[in-house]
Chains A and B, each alone.
Chain A
Amino acid sequence: MSEQVAFQHIEKTSLIGTRIKKPDAPAKAIGKTRYINDMVLPQMLYGKILHAGRTHAEIVSIDTSEAEKLPGVHLVITAQDTPDLKLGFVKDNAPLKDKVRCERDEVAAVAAESEAIAAEALKLIKVTYKDLPPVYTIEDGLKDGAPVIQDRFPDNKSLSFKFTHGDMAAAEQKSDIILDDVFNVHYVTHCCMGTSCAIADFDHNGKLTIYSQTQYPYNYKMDLAPALGIDPGDIRVIQPPTGGSFGAKLDVYPFEPVAAILAQKTGRPVKILFDREEEFINSPTRQPARMHLRTGCTSDGILTFRAADVMMDNGAYTSWGPTVPVIMMRTVSGHYRVPVVDFKGQAVYTNNAYAGSFRGYGNVQMTYATAQHMDMLAEKLAKDHNLDPIEFRLKNAQKSGEVTPQKSFLRECALAECLTTAAEASDYVNKLNKYTAERAQEGRYKRGIGLASSIHNAGGAKIHKSDGCGTILKMDDYARVTVITGASEIGQGIDAVIAQIVAEELGVPTEHVNLVNNDSDLGPWDVGVHASRTTFIAGNGARRAAIKAKKQILAAASKQANVSADELDLRGGFVVQDKDGAVVTKLDKMLRQMHFQPEPDVVMVSDYYEPNSEPEGRDHISDHSAAYSHAVHIAEVLVDTYTGEVKVEKVTMAQDVGRVINRMGLEAQMEGGLAFGLGFALSEEMIFEEGRLKNPSFRDYKLPTAPDMPDLDIHFIESDCAEGPYGAKGIAELPTIVVAPAIANAVYNATGIRFFNPPMTPEKVARAIWEKKQV
């Protein structure tokens, strides 16, 4: 064998930028994957939670005696069984409540032999409530003498944020145009196809194993422990395959400690699984926001200032939702150069649902406003000052090397390239002018084109003390690689990316790289799947570990072949000469030789990658991400001006991805991300009446379906990020962020009407068109 290969030469090729199949895709496609929702443990009980179904009330008494008598019921618990257990961002939430503050509030829980028995037991729990005056609006919450939702916050004021930079009065003076508008962004929710689920199991040493859909297993332990009164070290988090998270699982929510408390007290594994209606009512939402935006500009098209006053309905408890100004205050300017910025954000407690983190975190809301203001300015400047709408944006587009007032250092900035690429590919300016002219003509159907852009962190976000990720890499005697990573795979595709990166470095097939993760007892620390960070952070970690392994192998090979390690490379499962690819030896043989010798040299390396970003700090003003990225979307719509139906026919997307790693995964993230933005723009809306959700089903909560998807023309702009793996940047949130205002701008182009209050449902659009005709 070695004689045969001795004459072989292996060319240098690269996997980076190619299409790598997601390893778990076939199993998911044929229904073989066992999701957490499908899991059954021996002796497992089923937990169910009694929700208040009212919005503000004292709990006068709870009688659980009938429920306890029902055969098959093992345990019924209430807040009395769980004193002093807290959870949430400001620890204002509890697993079970002694007072009702919103519709979903968890009042009691049951563990029983079956789901049906648990459901029946809930009906037997008698709760006496004394209703309290409720608060359903920000205004009511701020009134003097308003009912107090949380005793620790007697004025109902929750989190607040502030950022100012520059001389606002002078900037206003300089402005020839000042726009002043209020945007109201509505409630939507994640709609994970796999509903919320947790399975808790205690061993006899008091150690909890929790099977969870969490996106952040390591800090999850820290957040879950105080909700259970145990040490975080006594928690093992296992993340089985999950049907979507998208930010919904970035906090601990009451059902998780409730499952654990039931398990602890019964000594049996306990599973809590929501049905779809429970999922709608009891999951976090996207943070709604009322954004008062002011933008100033000179008559030659130079932005002078931006001011945003953001009021947020906090709901009854504080999860990640009302923290979104951390991102809003950066993205309120940040990709178009705005010298003077004033940002205020205030959240107010009410008896409404509460929000969590959601893909595009704060920026979906902010960009819906800023990108419409940019479009309004572009229109005005084109009309009054003959300035081309792309030229206007290019004039203000930030460039590589600039630092924003919020201290985001734009090392590689490709906004200008995104703008020109998308505009040219879609023939934006010509269509814009054509459709504007056609708007005044007779006809039921109108076309429109709209452009929007934004910036987002693309190299993690250092909101914790570390934004790092650990990696352990080993190779066996057969040249198979095992990568133990802190990065979780929750559907986003890091499994394919890590296999690809490690295969690239070690010259092995991607199928020879095994990934071990999603278990906090096995993997080293990682922040979690959020902030578009995993490919950037865990990808860098995997690459660095692989490079260490490669060095070790080449050092050994160098000794054996008596050539410098620099002159060797790993390709196609062989150690080769770097210059001509001449085979030196087979990689597996090399590894065995390293292993089986008097002083064994086994490949087992580790790495902890910490990005070069700065911690958020108290004021959230720092270079908090190792990279920032920009995207431009241009939406083309057909509006039926009679029915108000908006069909998005095509979206041209240009996004700075740094460098393409797995082209297939990247395209899928673009498509999936866009679908979220599409639903947000046009059809998805949680309808609340007096704090209660009126449409907790897919019949009345309108997720986009396959026929709603537009044609996509995707352009990847490769800015080659110095810090990113092979130059890559994080990519997953921008597709969700940018599309909605692009659609709103296109609808304006078609109809002459601005929609500041999404979603642009057929009824809303038809009504606005009809009202405009009446004037």
Chain B
Amino acid sequence: MSEIEKYIAPDTVSDAVKALSSGGVTILAGGTDLTPQVDAGRRSHAPTLMNIRRVDDLSGITQNKGETRIGCLTTVSEIKQSDLAPAILRQAADHFASEQIRNAATLGGNICNASPAGDMINPLLVLDASVELASWKEGAMEVRREPISRFFTGPGKTIKHDNELLIAVVFDTPGPDFVGYFRKSGPRPALEISTVSVGIGGDYKDGAFHNVRVAFGAVGPTPLRGKATEAMLEGQALTAEVIDKAARAAQDDATPIDDIRATSWYRTHLIAVFTEELLNNVCQN
């Protein structure tokens, strides 16, 4: 039994970050991962439970000077319904768990849970997003930005320090030529943990694909970018041959394992299927 000794619910970001500086704090946002993980004995509460849901500044989507900013407390439902969220992010939100979980689960929580199968992470990799990490240093709040592609170090592990709070996700607002698609799979249409997920995005103009970014979920210890696939596609016209080569490259990028949800064979197979499917979507866009 992990005992919670103290419960705090700060109103401001600085109070929240200040509370983290003393250590021994578990952060509660939507609770949709935290609660079942504690119940299952896979993680335990630190002595202080900090509910950050009362911090207003941490919620919502804004655009400013070509940058989109999504507060860490923004729920998956809010993203799904927002015109300011790029389509690829809304697609992932639409396939996320169930209505009830989407209403509670937050973007920051999904990122910090650092599951290789985290559905919201994949499109953020495609958008080349960065995360903002806030900490309390010498009487003031300090914020650092890190690209999300470098954020994850293993299943459930990130570069975020215990005294840091992930306060927002930022990315360049996609331009008019940007096209992005997300696809995940599992045996049933709802409430499904991804067997694999693939996201592809880039500027599709005059029949050629530029600034291509490809991301894979549930095929390695962290969500990952498909560098070989990106290199293969960069600047190319999406002919059947290129798409086929990209699908093979995607299989080289991914390093899936066998587990009870799928074999590595099936994951590798799906990577090619989805890569091809999404590139065909891009062509038809």
Q: Are A and B bound to each other?
A: yes
Q: List the interface of chain A (C-beta within 8 A of B).
A: 116, 119-120, 275, 277, 642-643, 645, 682-683, 687, 694-695, 698-700, 702, 704-708, 761-763, 766-767, 770
Closest Cβ of chain B to A214, distance in Å, is 28
Given A119-B1, A695-B260, A770 and B269 contact (CB-CB distance below 8 Å): yes
Asked if B189 is at the interface (CB within 8 A of a chain A CB), the reply is yes
Say yes or no: A767 contacts B260, CB within 8 Å: no
Tell me whether A767 and B187 are in contact in the complex, defined as CB-CB below 8 angstroms, given that A119-B1, A277-B40, A699-B193 are known contacts: no
Cα-based distance from A708 to B187 in the complex (angstroms): 10
B262 at the binding interface (Cβ < 8 Å): yes
Q: Are A763 and B266 in touch, CB under 8 angstroms? A: yes
Q: Are A763 and B263 in contact (CB under 8 A)?
A: yes
Known interface pairs A120-B1, A766-B266. Does A694 touch B260 (Cβ–Cβ under 8 Å)?
Answer: yes
Could you list which residues of chain B lie within 8 angstroms of chain A, going by C-beta atoms? 1, 39-40, 98, 185-191, 193, 195, 260-263, 265-266, 269-270, 273, 277
B217 to chain A, nearest CB (A): 16
- Contacting pair A687 B260 (CB below 8 A): yes
Closest 8 pairs between A and B when the two form their complex, measured CB to CB: A705-B190, A763-B266, A707-B189, A642-B273, A683-B187, A694-B260, A702-B187, A707-B190
**Are B260 and A702 interface neighbours, CB within 8 A?**
no
- Which residues of chain B are within 8 angstroms of A761 by Cβ–Cβ distance? 187
Given A277-B40, A694-B260, check contact A683 B188 (CB 8 Å): yes
**Measured between alpha carbons, how far is A766 from B270 in the docked complex, in Å?**
9
Contacts of B273 in A (CB 8 A): 642-643
CA distance A704 to B190 in the complex (A): 9
User: With the chains together, A700 CA to B262 CA distance in Å?
Assistant: 11
B260 x A705 contact (CB < 8 A): no
User: Are A702 and B266 in contact, CB atoms less than 8 angstroms apart?
Assistant: no
Report Cα–Cα, A36/B266, bound state, in Å.
Answer: 43
Give the one of B98, B193, B265, B266 with max A CB within 10 A: B266
A-side contacts of B269, CB under 8 Å: 766, 770
Q: Bound state CA distance, A698 and B190, in angstroms?
A: 12
Task: Give the A-B contact count at a CB cut-off of 8 A.
Answer: 55
Structural contact, A702 and B188, CB atoms closer than 8 A: yes
Report which of B188, B262, B270, B277 forms a contact with A705, defined as CB distance below 8 A.
Answer: B188
Q: In the bound complex, how far is the Cα of B277 from the Cα of A119, in angstroms? A: 49
Instruction: Decide: A767 near B188, CB < 8 A? Known: A277-B40, A694-B260, A699-B193.
Output: no
For the complex, give the distance between the alpha carbons of A687 and B188 in Å: 17
In the bound complex, residues from chain A placing their C-beta under 8 Å from that of B189 are: 705, 707-708
A698 to B36: give the CA distance in the assembly, Å: 12
Cα distance A763–B267 when bound, in Å? 9
Question: CB-CB < 8 A to B261: which residues of A?
Answer: 700
Nearest chain B CB to A711's CB is how many angstroms away?
Answer: 15
Which chain B residues lie closer than 8 Å to A275 at the CB level? 39
How far, in whole Å, are A708 and B270 apart by their CA atoms in the complex? 21
Cβ B265 vs Cβ A767 within 8 A: yes
| B-chain residues with CB within 8 Å of residue A704 when the two chains form the complex | 188
Beyond A683-B188, A699-B193, A700-B261: 20 further Cβ-contacts under 8 Å? A116-B1, A120-B1, A643-B270, A643-B273, A645-B187, A683-B187, A687-B260, A694-B260, A700-B260, A704-B188, A705-B190, A705-B191, A707-B190, A708-B190, A761-B187, A763-B262, A766-B266, A766-B269, A767-B265, A767-B266
Docked CA distance A275–B41 (Å)? 13
A-B contact pairs, 25 of them (CB 8 A): A116-B1, A119-B1, A642-B273, A645-B187, A683-B187, A694-B260, A695-B260, A700-B261, A702-B186, A704-B188, A705-B98, A705-B188, A706-B190, A707-B189, A707-B190, A708-B188, A708-B189, A761-B187, A762-B185, A762-B187, A762-B195, A763-B195, A763-B263, A763-B266, A766-B266
Least Cβ–Cβ distance between A592 and chain B, in angstroms: 54
| Cα–Cα, bound, A655→B262 (Å) | 37
Residue in B40, B188, B193, B277 whose Cβ sees the most chain A Cβ within 10 Å:
B188
Interface centre among A275, A706, A762 (most CB of B within 10 A): A762
- Whole-angstrom distance between the Cβ of B192 and the nearest chain A Cβ: 8
